[in-house]
Amino acid sequence: MKGHFYKPNCKCEKGKRCKCGAKWGFLMDVGINPKNGRRKQKFKGGFNTKKEAELAAAHFLAEIEAGQYVKEGNVTFEEFAYQWLDMYKATGKVKISTIRVRNHEIKRLLDYFAKLKIKDVSRKKYQDALNNLKERGFAENTLDGAHRTGRMIFKKAAEMDLIKKDPTEFAYVPKTQKSVEELESEENLIKYLEKEELSRFLNTSKVQGLDQDDPIFTLLAYTGMRVGELCALKWKDIDFEQQSISVTKTYYNPKNNILNYQLLPPKTKSAKRKIEIDSFVIKKLEKHQQLQKKIKMKYRNRYHDKDFIFALNDEKNPGYPLYLKKIENRMKRLLKLTNKGMDVGETKLNEGLTPHSLRHTHTSLLAEAGVGLQEIMDRLGHKDDATTKNVYWHVTKPKKKEAAHKFSDLMRDLR
């Protein structure tokens, strides 16, 4: 391979011994430019002696021959991060909500690397950034997300030969060691309603609920459905004869802009499912359907008739699907009313519960009824979910103890 060693900045007369203290460098051929057929060359300087330059050149040539040479780019982290985001979108496999999350996580990393050349982000700089995010008080979920996005960005940069080494390779998210007391406290903070509590809540929804509250919260409690899935439901998704609901989409509207909603594919492949329901729920839906027909007649040509089961029935935007924040507010109201009307001896409901808590409630009651974990996961549309497992194990813990006692009783006769 052609190349030579020289002092590019030497100011001394040619042919004379150098006395100006210029550094040594080398210039080596690295291939042919495919566009114009001219040779491509690599220069590297700053060596104190010719021997140092020769050693560096030998290492460089070894990289070339092994196919490991990477010409690091001068693109900044900020420039490449958004180029990567465009490539990520272009796969067509990523939901809009995920793109939004990735964009937020890039912004976290821009605090540290925005104008740095991506090749200059070292392992230490990257780890220092994660450590500093922790010091700034960000939650571990936020750190996990930023690190996840960072790994994808730098992996793609390595694939595109913009960097030699991936600075995220050995990085870790700093964690706070929790005390035994904190762990025990977390176990007691599982957010769901017991059977009797759910009954009181649903009764309040039926008696004191606003329009549609009764069918909304009954459906959430009896199916374990996600709120976004409920908001996206259409009447064609209900099979009244077979008593089932097909979950094929989810509602997306991060800014709660009533007119600018989107319907997206389910959260995961396993989220697309059919949920069996009983006649009690079917009757609630049939009653709700009759009431909705009257609303449609009232607003006629102004009604946004896209077949949504749970739609606004006000003067301004009739027919548009209900949005998540509205359902959350409705639940807060009902929890307060339930507590206000509780009898002596009844337990006060946790007013911090959310519509998603009814999903955990559904899990706990199915577990209490003896339904297996895998059947519950299928019904909820989970392939794997730590929270669902925790709720299930928490509820079935007494049964496990009971099984141990029964086994001991059985063996006692053989001792």
DSSP string, 274-341: EEE--HHHHHHHHHHHHHHHHHHHHHGGGS--S-BSSB--SSSSTTPBP-HHHHHHHHHHHHHHHHHT
Q: Which two tokens stand for residue 130?
A: 């994660």
C-beta neighbour count of 156 within 10 angstroms: 18
Q: How far is CA 195 from CA 177, 186, 221, 338, 398, in A?
A: 35, 21, 11, 14, 16
* Fold (CATH) for 77-176: DNA polymerase; domain 1 (1.10.150)
* Fold (CATH) for 195-351: hpI Integrase; Chain A (1.10.443)
Instruction: Show the DSSP H helices in 188-252 as ranges.
Output: 195-208, 213-223, 227-232
Domain extents in the chain: 3-66, 77-176, 195-351
Q: Which two tokens stand for residue 335?
A: 């929890």
Q: Which residues of 81-120 are buried (b: 16+ CB within 10 A; e: fewer)?
A: bebbbeebeeeeeeeeeeeeebeebbebbbebbeeebbbe
Strand, coil or helix: what is 244?
strand
CB distance 367 to 253 below 8 Å:
no
| Residue 20: per-residue pLDDT | 86
What pTM does this model have?
Answer: 0.67
pLDDT tens by residue, the chain, 415 residues: 577 888 888 888 887 888 888 998 888 887 776 667 777 777 888 889 999 988 888 887 876 666 555 555 678 999 999 999 998 988 877 888 889 999 999 999 999 999 999 999 999 999 999 999 999 999 888 999 999 999 999 999 998 888 988 999 999 999 877 666 655 555 554 578 999 999 999 999 999 999 999 999 999 999 999 999 999 999 999 999 999 999 999 999 988 889 999 998 886 788 999 999 999 999 999 999 999 999 999 998 899 999 999 999 988 999 999 999 999 999 999 999 999 998 888 889 999 999 999 999 999 999 888 888 899 999 999 877 777 888 887 777 766 666 666 666 766 766 5
| Residue 44: per-residue pLDDT | 84
| Residue 120: per-residue pLDDT | 93
Q: How many residues does the chain have?
A: 415
46's enclosing H/E stretch is strand 39-47
| Residue 400: per-residue pLDDT | 62
Q: Which residues of 169-180 are buried (b: 16+ CB within 10 A; e: fewer)?
A: eebebeeeeeee
Q: How far is CA 223 from CA 242, 271, 352, in A?
A: 15, 13, 21
| Residue 277: per-residue pLDDT | 94
| Residue 384: per-residue pLDDT | 74
Picking from 329, 122, 298, the residue whose alpha carbon sits closest to that of residue 210 is 329
| Residue 108: per-residue pLDDT | 95
* Spatial separation of the C-alpha atoms in residues 11 and 94, rounded to whole Å: 58
4's enclosing H/E stretch is strand 3-6
Q: Which two tokens stand for residue 25?
A: 């460098």
* Spatial separation of the C-alpha atoms in residues 411 and 213, rounded to whole Å: 53
* pLDDT tens for each residue of 342-396: 888 888 999 999 999 999 999 999 988 888 889 999 999 987 777 788 888 777 7
* Spatial separation of the C-alpha atoms in residues 194 and 199, rounded to whole Å: 9
| Residue 190: per-residue pLDDT | 56
- Residue 273 forms beta bridges with which residues? 247
